[in-house]
Amino acid sequence: MKRRIRISDLVEGIEVISVIGLEKNTGKTVVLNQMLKEFREEGTTTGVTSTGLEGEKRDQVYLNEKPEITVSKGTYFVTSERDFRHRSFSATVIDLRDYRSPLGRMVFAKAEADGKVIISGPSILEYLSEAVNAMRSYGCKKILIDGSTSRMSPGTPLISDGVILATGAALSMNMEELCRKTLFAVKLISLKATEPKLLNRMLALEGGVWIENCGTFEKLSSSALTTSYPRAKTAGKTIFIDGSLTSSVLLSLSERGTRVVVKDFSRIFVDERSLMKYERAGGRLEVLHPANLIAVTVNPFSPTGFKIRSGELIRALEKKIDVPVVNVLEEISK
């Protein structure tokens, strides 16, 4: 009999864990609840927050019932004032912070009993980082971040020590397309770090686009990639972008030997076709801060009731990636 995979075993030694979903209803909350349960059983002090509205009772698109976030006595959590009031258990307020949010101030609290809660945490990364540091100061050994749908920023290695990627039938009911989209996301998350010599020099560069010339970096204006530096002049160059990388910018750099470096995968907003074209032209895409992909989880059910062949998807993904692929609904039912 195959041994059950414990998510807590996969994240051993990892303090801050972000769960990112490629689409709504891919099982993020199921994964989060399973980790909370396993950490409780181990006696691990845990904190949890999100980068948006998570744990709502009903999906706002399909109106299906959704799993709520279940915390146990001793769990620390950060959520909005509005949703803190609607919790189903007693809790002690530790702090209130006036972050910009339509849901009110952020409540930093400790659960005094078991119960369910909607987690609507800070969406701005600066505030998210503050929330994580606060939970560290409370003694949390594990900190969980439930990322907003399709938003990669919570997984930035500047905040998270590891990423769990949730995919499933809600992303696509076509097996080939589902596999392709998932592998593309895995590829971005798994981008390699640039060489240490260059990395140390780029860490000091701030704001905008920089191009290496004769061993030094020169800052370009926002339009320089298409004027002062036409495509032919970027061939063989290393270009650092302190900001977001879009498909149009990447395509403008599709020359042999071009190396584009961004801070981390969460700054990349390119489509699969553009990246493929760039790489076929001989370009390389790297990051300053590589991420740690812990696992890929699969939810075989779509919100419309369709079910994929999860075993087939898992086998296809396992052939292409080096991290565990888990059907979390199947594992937690064992």
Q: Model confidence at 231, in pLDDT bands (50, 70, 90)?
A: low
pLDDT at position 301: 87
Q: For the residues 11-22, what does the mean pLDDT come to?
A: 95
Which residue has better confidence, 329 or 50?
50
pLDDT surpassing 60 at residue 157: yes
Q: Model confidence at 62, in pLDDT bands (50, 70, 90)?
A: very low
pLDDT surpassing 50 at residue 285: yes
H/E stretch holding 16: strand 16-21
pLDDT at position 224: 54
Strand partners, 325: 296
The mean pLDDT value of the chain amounts to 86
pLDDT surpassing 50 at residue 226: no
Helical H segments across the chain, by residue range:
7-10, 28-42, 81-85, 125-137, 175-189, 196-202, 231-234, 247-252, 272-280, 310-318, 328-332
State the number of CA atoms in the 13 A half-sphere of 183 facing the CB. Answer: 16
Q: For the residues 136-150, what does the mean pLDDT come to?
A: 89
pLDDT surpassing 90 at residue 132: yes
pLDDT surpassing 50 at residue 239: yes
Q: Which of 8-12, 109-113, 217-221, 306-310 has the lowest mean pLDDT?
A: 217-221
Residues of the chain above pLDDT 90, percent: 53
Distance in angstroms (rounded) separating the CA atoms of residues 167 and 99: 31
Q: For the residues 66-70, what does the mean pLDDT come to?
A: 75
DSSP assigned state of 329: H
Evaluate whether 262 touches 268 at the Cβ level (below 8 Å).
Answer: yes
